[in-house]
Chain A
Amino acid sequence: MSTTDERMAARKRAEVERQALDAIDDRLGSSSFLRSAMDKIFPDHWSFMVGEISMYTLLILIITGVYLAGFYHASNTVVTYHGSYKPLDGVKMTDAYRSVINISFDVRAGLVMRQIHHWAAVVFLAAVAFHLCRIFFTGAFRKPRETNWIIGLTLLLVVMLEGYTGYSLPDDLLSGTGVRVVYSIIESIPFIGTWLAYVIIGTTYPGENIEPRLFVIHEFLFPLIIIGLLTAHLMILWRQKHTDFPGPGKTEHNIVGSRLWPQYTLKSAGLFMIVFAVLAAMGGLIQINPIWIYGPYTPYAVSAGSQPDWYVGWLDGAVRLWPHWEFRSWGHEIANPFFPGILMPGIVFSIMYAWPLIDKRLYHDYAEHNLLDRPRDKAARTAIGVAAITFFADCTFASATDLLGNNFQMPFERLIEIFQYGAFVGPIVAGVIAYKVCKSLQLSSSHPIKRPTGGIIIRSAEGGYHTLGDDHGAGHGADGRAGNGHSVDGHDGDTVGADGHPGDGQGRPDDEIEEPVVAAPAPPAQESGPS
Chain B
Amino acid sequence: MTLGPVTLRAVDHRVMPRRYSGPALVVALAAVAFSVMAFSAGSGSAAEPPVSTNPADIQAGDALFTAHCSSCHGNNGVGSVKAPALINSGAAAADFYLSTGRMPLAEPGDQAQRTRPFFKPPEIRQLVAYVNALPQINGQPNNTGPTIPSISPVCDTSGGAGNVADAQKGDYGFEGAGGQGGALGGHGPGPCTTLAQGLQLFSLNCAQCHDASGSGGMLSKGNVVPSLKDATAVQVAEAIRVGPQPMPIFGPRELSDEQVSAISNYVQYLRKPADRGGLGIAHFGPVPEGFVGIVIGLFIMLVATRLIGTRE
Contact = CB atoms under 8 A, between A and B. Distances in A.
Chain A's interface size range is: 35 or more
B298 A126 contact: yes
B187 interface: yes
Interface in B208-228: 208-213, 215-218, 220-222, 224-225
A41 interface: no
Interface string B187-204: 100000011101110011
Contact of A123 (B173, B278, B301, B308): B301
B29 interface: no
Interface stretch (A152-160, A193-201, A288-296, A379-387): A288-296
A442 interface: no
A437 interface: no
Contacts of A247: 312
Q: Provide the main secondary structure of the chain B interface.
A: helix
B294 A301 contact: no
A18 interface: no
Interface string B270-301: 10011111111101111101111110111011
A90 B187 contact: yes
B275 A290 contact: yes
Interface string B68-85: 000000000000000000
Contacts of A304: 207-212, 216-218, 225
Indicate the member of B165, B203, B293, B312 with the most A CB atoms within 10 Å.
B293
A105 B165 CA distance: 8
Contacts of A406: 216-218, 224-225
A126 B294 contact: yes
Contacts of B207: 173, 295, 301-304
B157 A301 contact: no
A39 interface: no
Contact of A111 (B199, B277, B294, B296): B277
Nearest to B273: A293
8 contacts: A46-B310, A282-B293, A290-B283, A294-B213, A295-B212, A304-B209, A309-B289, A403-B284
Nearest to B167: A84
Given A282-B296, A303-B211, A410 B222 contact: yes
A305 B298 contact: no
B165 A84 contact: yes
Contact of B290 (A47, A48, A130, A309): A309
A285 B294 CA distance: 16
A120 B285 CA distance: 16
Indicate the member of B158, B287, B306, B311 with the most A CB atoms within 10 Å.
B287
B283 A293 contact: yes
Given A46-B311, A298-B204, A288 B289 contact: yes
Contact of B308 (A115, A270, A410): A270
B256 interface: no
A89 interface: yes
Given A119-B293, A302-B208, A308-B286, A90 B312 contact: no
B172 interface: yes
A53 interface: yes
A366 to B, nearest CB: 29
B163 interface: yes
Interface in B41-75: none
B195 A87 contact: yes
Interface in A269-292: 270-271, 274-275, 278-279, 282, 284-290, 292
A400 interface: yes
A26 interface: no
B168 interface: yes
A531 interface: no
A316 to B, nearest CB: 10
Interface string A140-173: 0000000000000000000000000000000001
Contacts of B166: 84
A173 B200 CA distance: 11
A71 to B, nearest CB: 16
Contacts of B204: 298, 300-301
Contacts of B281: 286-287
Nearest to B166: A84
